[in-house]
Structure 1
Amino acid sequence: MLKKERQAYILHRLNLHNKVLSTKLGEDMKVSEDTVRRDLQELANAGKLIKVHGGALSLAFNEVQFTNGTIYSQSQKAIIAQKAIGLIKEQMYVLTSGGTTIIEMAKQLPPHLKATFITGSIPVLNAYVSHPNINVIVVGDRVNKEARITVGASAIAKIREVNADLCILGTNAIDLQRGITDSDWEVVELKKAMIASSAKTVCLTIAEKLNSFEALQVCGLQQIDYLVTELDPDDKLLRPYVKAGVTVL
């Protein structure tokens, strides 16, 4: 791959997953880690990503408040957010993870809604506290600076005390064989606890992340009750998930 092609690939992966690892990029592009590091440095110098040890982060992690200019597929995520809101009923207890799609959902919650939202995601909390009628519960512990969410034993213990009606997850990757997967061990453990403490699990993802996977499994497909994308539920890309028993919105 030419340098221009490599760097376009890196930015695309970053837009999809918010975080990339140098080792994985090297394997995917069949180049050395030194080559990847030089590409990441050039992109960082150009203001297109945030270079960190072992890889890079999306510019979305540069601020607590996300702006439309740094959100990938914002219009698709707005559609997903509206669909997900349709699942939230009055007086529900809702556990949510982090991510730009969850933030979009938080911003679009109807002003009259009275429900309780529980999260440790700092950007999501920022959006929830502006809502006039919802209750907000913070799950506290050490902050994972890359994911901007609280993680660790105390956060997981708190989540296990909850009996939530819904668990709404932002998704890094999903496919038929591996279910929901991610690349951050601490976030994976947090999401597992959220799923275990909820009556129903809702997976939010742009269609581009369908049929992709990361190294660490969050849950199998059988643990997902609803899959929400920007596509029409009858889209052929979603048919295998419907066949697997997931309700698609």
Structure 2
Amino acid sequence: MLKKERHDFIMRQINLHNRVLTSDLVQLLTVSEDTIRRDLQELADEGLLFKVHGGALSKSYHSSFDDSTVYARDSKIIIAKKATNLITDGMVVLTGGGTTILEFVKQLPKNIEATFFTISPLVAVELAKYNNIEVILIGGLFSKNSQVTYGGQVITQLAELKADLCLMGTSAIHPEQGLTDTYWEINQLKKAMLAASKKTAVLCISEKLDIALRLRVCPIGSISYLITELDQDHESLTGYRDKEVNIL
């Protein structure tokens, strides 16, 4: 594979999953670890990603207040607008982090009255701009990679919560494999968020459909709503409709 093809592949993985591991790229591209390290360094030098120990991070994910760097932002705005239809006055809402959730917060009605719990400091800052929203940031260890709080302290706090609705992004979703992730701590965190909520909505650009990663978060039946930028009757969503997931 040519270097440009490798770089294009790496950037697609970064844009879809927000972060990549060097070890995964070595296996996917069947090249040496030194080659991947050089590729990541070159892409970092071009300002296309952030190189970190063991892999790389999406520039948009790491700098979420800069809208110009958000991947597939137009699609995420469509998703965000659909998601706001699930929010009504008086609700208790739990959110994850990521650029799609940030777009959702920006699309909320200005006078909405609700209580939001979040594991994302960036999301908390955006929510604080609304006069009638009570914002509760769930504290714990802070993941520099994922930009959210995690760990035993966070999971303990989540166990005391029963939100009306949980809104979370995802790196991968599949009609048979369900919701999956690559990182153990994020996997455990998402499981705790699901358990802390009556209903769960997954906000997901269509490029992440039909992908399965190494760690299973939950079966598809545990998800109440799947929100993409596609029309509800789009053929790409057939497998999810067959599983009786509510498609928005």
Determine if the TM-score, normalized by the shorter chain, exceeds 0.5. Answer: yes
Match of 2:79 in 1: 80
Q: CA deviation at 1:66?
A: 2.3
- 1:16 partnered with 2:38: no
Q: CA deviation at 1:94?
A: 0.5
- 1:128 partnered with 2:127: yes
- The one-letter code of the counterpart of 2:12 is H
Q: Which runs of 5+ in 2 are unaligned?
A: none
Match of 1:28 in 2: 28
Q: CA deviation at 1:70?
A: 1.2
Q: How does 1:1-249 map to 2 (within 5 A)?
A: 1-63=1-63, 65-249=64-248
Q: CA RMSD in A?
A: 1.0
Q: TM-score, normalised by structure 1?
A: 0.97
Q: TM-score, normalised by structure 2?
A: 0.97
Q: Residue deviations 1:37-61, cap 9 Å, x none?
A: 1100111111111111111001124
- The one-letter code of the counterpart of 1:53 is H
Q: Residue deviations 1:87-116, cap 9 Å, x none?
A: 111101011100100000011110110011
Separation (CA, whole Å) in 2 of partners of 1:98 and 1:127: 11
Does the Cα contact within 8 Å between 2:172 and 2:209 map onto a contact in 1? Answer: yes
Separation (CA, whole Å) in 1 of partners of 2:187 and 2:45: 31
Q: Which runs of 5+ in 1 are unaligned?
A: none
More off after superposition, 166-175 vs 22-31: 22-31
Separation (CA, whole Å) in 1 of partners of 2:196 and 2:87: 17
Q: Residue deviations 1:160-201, cap 9 Å, x none?
A: 111100011111100122111111211111111110011101
Separation (CA, whole Å) in 2 of partners of 1:173 and 1:61: 16
Q: CA deviation at 1:145?
A: 1.0
What is the identity percentage for the equivalent residue pairs of Structure 1 and Structure 2?
A: 48
Query: SS of the counterpart of 1:84?
Result: helix
Does the Cα contact within 8 Å between 2:94 and 2:117 map onto a contact in 1? Answer: yes
Q: CA deviation at 1:134?
A: 0.8
- The one-letter code of the counterpart of 1:113 is I
Does the Cα contact within 8 Å between 2:121 and 2:137 map onto a contact in 1? Answer: no
